[in-house]
A and B are shown apart, each in its own frame.
Chain A
Amino acid sequence: MTDVVETETRLPPPRPGGLRGFASDWASDQRTFKNVSWGKAMMWIFLLSDTFVFGCFLLAYMSARMSTSVPWPNPSEVFALHIGGQNVPLILIAIMTFVLISSSGTMAMAVNYGYRRDRRKTALLMLLTAIFGAAFVGMQAFEWTKLISEGVRPWGNPWGAAQFGSTFFMITGFHGTHVTIGVIFLLIVARKVWRGDFDTQKRGFFTSRKGHYEIVEITGLYWHFVDLVWVFIFAFFYLW
């Protein structure tokens, strides 16, 4: 009898799973996200808000494309590159997609090594992720330069509906900004991991808090989100 009481006081009762667990977590009049730290929960909620931002951009693009009476420029031809005497459709965009997916792969492995407290591998994989990200932004700058030199402007272009330029610069520009911020974020955290801040419990410069390897996962959430947004931009803007 006493044993039962002791185990009950020491361990919290196992939380129910499934829909019952969902209902009890939200109805418990306590913290809702039971095994998620505030940092991770807030990153998820920020990403949710960012989802709405990009959702609205893609919606604006859809409305512009559906409501114009002028033909929409064919992205397959607009984004073709002239390689080896022939036009290869969308090739740069395809390479950018593969680069961003690779960066997501290295990021996922960095998170994994972070939780194994493998300082060196985590920092190197994050650095590799940042290099992939920077390469992506570089290719995007090349793409913008090419389109601008061909006469694409936010108010018009040589091939059709004027809204093409404005939606293109808005959507890819905002996404590129996210990638750039992600690269900076990655480099800052990678430096901290490399220095061993999370092993020596060094306090942060800005918040004076002790860091955890969890920040690697939070950075990872942001980075995977950037990749996720690109999946939708690739499908709706470039392929549609």
Chain B
Amino acid sequence: MAQPAAHTEHQEHPIRLYLVVWGLLFVLSLFSYMIDYIGLHGYLRWSLILLFMMLKAGLIVAIFMHMAWERLALIYAIVLPPLMVLVFVAMMVSESHYVLLSRLTFFGGPQ
């Protein structure tokens, strides 16, 4: 049982770190909300949504879930597989275009 030694070594972070990340998450959430509040549209809106989303997700996983202090063996095992979902996204984008085309072709307009 080498466990107790193993998980005391990297968990001693000052509380200040969590408060700073908490504050950052608040600010980033406020920014995402402001995108909608001031009514940005088009590519600017979508890129800002994605930017703030990825920053928030990164902070939560890296600091709150302590991923930044884990070994690469665990980081890659957990973080890389979800990237495969992007392949699925690409497939479904193409499929959705086809479904929309079929609907417009065979049902003639909005259904």
Q: Is the CB of B49 within 8 A of A235?
A: yes
A65 to chain B, nearest CB (A): 8
- Docked complex Cα distance between A228 and B82 (Å): 13
A residues in contact with B97, CB < 8 Å: 66-67
- Docked complex Cα distance between A59 and B85 (Å): 9
B residues in contact with A204, CB < 8 Å: none
Q: Is the CB of A104 within 8 A of B52?
A: no
> Do A48 and B36 contact each other (CB < 8 Å), given the known contacts A112-B13, A235-B52?
no
Q: Is the CB of B60 within 8 A of A228?
A: yes
B25 in complex: contacting residue of A56, A90, A101, CB < 8 Å: A101
Q: Is the CB of B49 within 8 A of A239?
A: yes
B residues in contact with A212, CB < 8 Å: 3-4
Digit string of B65-108 for contact with A (CB within 8 Å is 1, else 0)?
11000111110111001100100110011011101100110010
- Docked complex Cα distance between A105 and B16 (Å): 11
Interface of chain B, main secondary structure: helix
Q: Is the CB of B103 within 8 A of A67?
A: yes
B residues in contact with A18, CB < 8 Å: 72
B82 in complex: contacting residue of A40, A51, A109, CB < 8 Å: A51
Q: Is the CB of B85 within 8 A of A41?
A: no
Q: How large is the interface on B (under 10, 10 to 19, 20 to 34, 35 or more residues)?
A: 35 or more
B residues in contact with A19, CB < 8 Å: 72
Of A68-76, A138-146, A147-155, which binds chain B? A68-76
Of A28-36, A168-176, A177-185, A189-197, which binds chain B? A28-36
Q: Is the CB of B35 within 8 A of A239?
A: yes
Query: Is A159 interfacial (CB-CB < 8 Å)?
Result: no
Query: Is A156 interfacial (CB-CB < 8 Å)?
Result: no
Interface of chain A, main secondary structure: helix
- Docked complex Cα distance between A227 and B26 (Å): 13
Query: Is A157 interfacial (CB-CB < 8 Å)?
Result: no
Q: Is the CB of A104 within 8 A of B109?
A: no
Q: Is the CB of A98 within 8 A of B29?
A: yes
- Docked complex Cα distance between A62 and B93 (Å): 8
Which residues of A (216-240) have their CB < 8 Å from a CB of B?
217, 220-221, 224-225, 227-228, 231-232, 234-235, 238-240
A residues in contact with B49, CB < 8 Å: 235, 239-240
A62 in complex: contacting residue of B3, B13, B77, B96, CB < 8 Å: B96
Which residues of A (1-47) have their CB < 8 Å from a CB of B?
15, 17-19, 21-22, 25-26, 32-37, 40-41, 44-45, 47
A55 to chain B, nearest CB (A): 4
A residues in contact with B95, CB < 8 Å: 63, 67
User: Can you name 17 A-B pairs with beta carbons within 8 Å?
Assistant: A26-B73, A33-B74, A34-B73, A36-B74, A52-B81, A59-B89, A63-B95, A67-B103, A69-B103, A69-B104, A69-B107, A70-B111, A102-B22, A108-B21, A214-B3, A224-B61, A224-B64
Q: List the 3 closest A-B pairs by CB distance, nearest first.
A: A105-B22, A66-B96, A25-B73
